[in-house]
Amino acid sequence: MGAVFFGNRARKPSDLRRPPSRTSPASSLSPPPTGSRLSPESSIRGSLSPVRSRSPRPLDLRILIAPSGFKEALGPEDVAAAIEHGIRRVITEDTATIIKLPLHDGGEGFSKALVAAQGGDIIEATVTGPIGEPVESYFGLTGQANDIAVVDMAAAAGLRLVPKTHRDPTRTTTYGVGELIKAALDKGVSRMIIGCGDSGTSDGGAGMLQAQGARLLDEHGNELPAASGGAALSKLARISIEDLHPRLLPGAPDRVKIEAVCNIKNILCGPNGVARIYGPQKGATPAQVDILSDALDNLAAALEPILATNISYVPGSGASGGLGAGLMLLGAELRARSEAINDYFHIDDILDQRWDFVFTAEGSLDSQSAKGKMTVEVARRARDYGAQVIALAGTIGAGADTVYEEGIEAFTSILNGPLSLEQAIEETEKLLRDSAERTMRMIQTGMSIRQSEGEWESVDDGRRRPSLAGLGLMRAFTS
């Protein structure tokens, strides 16, 4: 069984209180009009049906399952379903209400989830994939008049689309992302939301810009080959935007408003730049990381005279292999995905429904998890609402204990023995089910111990339950 880790912080029931009301930071993009399918008043809650609706009973547990997807294995919906399946091996519908809230963090499936929640259409398109081959892709249309496009960069340039034998981020391209943007522009949209996540590229959005008509030039004025990858930027001297799509030009009266939903903590350049932090995950060797880092420095220098600012360390500029930087040339607002996702899927409203436990999950829990990952962002919010958060992870890496300070009370790996990466990916669903079952059995045993010791607490809706404060119930089992 995977090791289970617990935080050092304990809370008393009196510490569990509702937070003051929150107001999301104002966006420079005007919100959609009231009544539109993307208005703040619309909510995803209608699509989240509890397993069973009934009056609360003593010892009724309320469990929210809010996981991210496991890259290259399962999407967030499938992860949530697997966790629920494991929990249901232990507790029945008569003793617990479970609601699933899959977390789409801007990666693949984001546009489909948003269209499913708000209404609209999915448009299929064939575009250039990350290694230059055609791929079948899609984007979403939503809003009152289908005038808002939702694009997943991962649907055209995601890591899933890069065969393991071709994982060379010096060569992969975002050209297909630009083709999706152009197809959306051809539909006449006035606003565009671009999900930045699960990328398999590190070209700084260069391919995307070339697909929009931008010309990338070397010091002799020669145009760099289209869709040639991040390493080609080592020869970049300047960028010409004269032939850019007219609705993307600065100052255009009908310029499309673009919002990039991204990990705002990713920057383009420097020792913590995207090439050095994420390049190895995409298959880059140490030598290739150096090449990409220098190439993205060139990109920042070429963008500076156009944007009138140095974007090397602008928060979000490094999102999706530097796609954030390229989108800035198109006037995009780089938005923290935690705030954007909350606005579109109303996570705070769901957390406010009082949960005993929140189960979350992600592929890797490590020092990067507290730097913009959705699982930790939800844990922070859940803590404010008095819920206790348990994380299931594919792997547990260095620095994972930093998540204790962010609201995750306990975490465990879903792995129960040595497995190759290929085996783990193939068996992810089963591993999640089994891990959720083991974790729930520990919770159930701890609750029994607390109940026998007479440690009960009352909750606002009149129920009584064994004290759950600080996950002491699990510590009782393991001590």
Cα separations in angstroms, 50 against 111, 112, 460: 24, 22, 20
Calpha distance 66→375 (Å, rounded):
8
Count Cβ atoms within 10 A of the Cβ of residue 295 and give its class: 0-12 exposed, 13-18 middle, 19 or more buried. Answer: buried
pLDDT-based confidence at residue 461 (cuts at 50, 70, 90)? low
Phi, psi values for residue 185, rounded to 5°: -60, -40
Calpha distance 122→161 (Å, rounded):
19
- Residue 416, pLDDT score: 87
**Residue (of 152, 119, 97, 12) closest to 350 by Cα position:** 97
pLDDT-based confidence at residue 463 (cuts at 50, 70, 90)? low
Calpha distance 426→331 (Å, rounded):
41
Tokens of 19: 């937070």
pLDDT-based confidence at residue 374 (cuts at 50, 70, 90)? confident
- Residue 17, pLDDT score: 38
Phi, psi values for residue 215, rounded to 5°: -115, 125
| Helix (H/G/I), strand (E/B), else coil: 294 | helix
- Residue 453, pLDDT score: 61
Position 5 pLDDT exceeds 70: no
- Residue 445, pLDDT score: 85
Cα separations in angstroms, 229 against 68, 292, 357: 28, 10, 44
Tokens of 11: 């809370």
Q: Tell me which of 37-46, 84-93, 183-192, 409-418 is least confident.
A: 37-46
- Residue 411, pLDDT score: 94
pLDDT digits (tens, 9 = 90+) for 54-112: 333 445 889 999 999 898 889 899 999 999 999 999 998 888 999 999 988 888 889 99
Q: Tell me which of 143-157, 171-185, 367-381, 383-397 is least confident.
A: 367-381
DSSP track, 312-349? TT-TTTTHHHHHHHHHHHTT-EEEEHHHHHHHHH-HHH
pLDDT mean across residues, the chain: 85
- Residue 452, pLDDT score: 66
- Residue 220, pLDDT score: 97
Calpha distance 248→233 (Å, rounded):
22
Q: Which domains does the chain have, with CATH numbers?
A: 61-103+354-449 (3.40.50.10350), 110-340 (3.90.1510.10)
Position 4 pLDDT exceeds 90: no
pLDDT digits (tens, 9 = 90+) for 6-21: 454 434 333 433 444 4
Cβ neighbors of 135 (< 8 A, separation 6 or more) are 126, 127, 128, 129, 156, 161, 176
Position 409 pLDDT exceeds 80: yes
Cβ neighbors of 314 (< 8 A, separation 6 or more) are 267, 268, 324, 325, 328, 334
Cβ neighbors of 280 (< 8 A, separation 6 or more) are 289
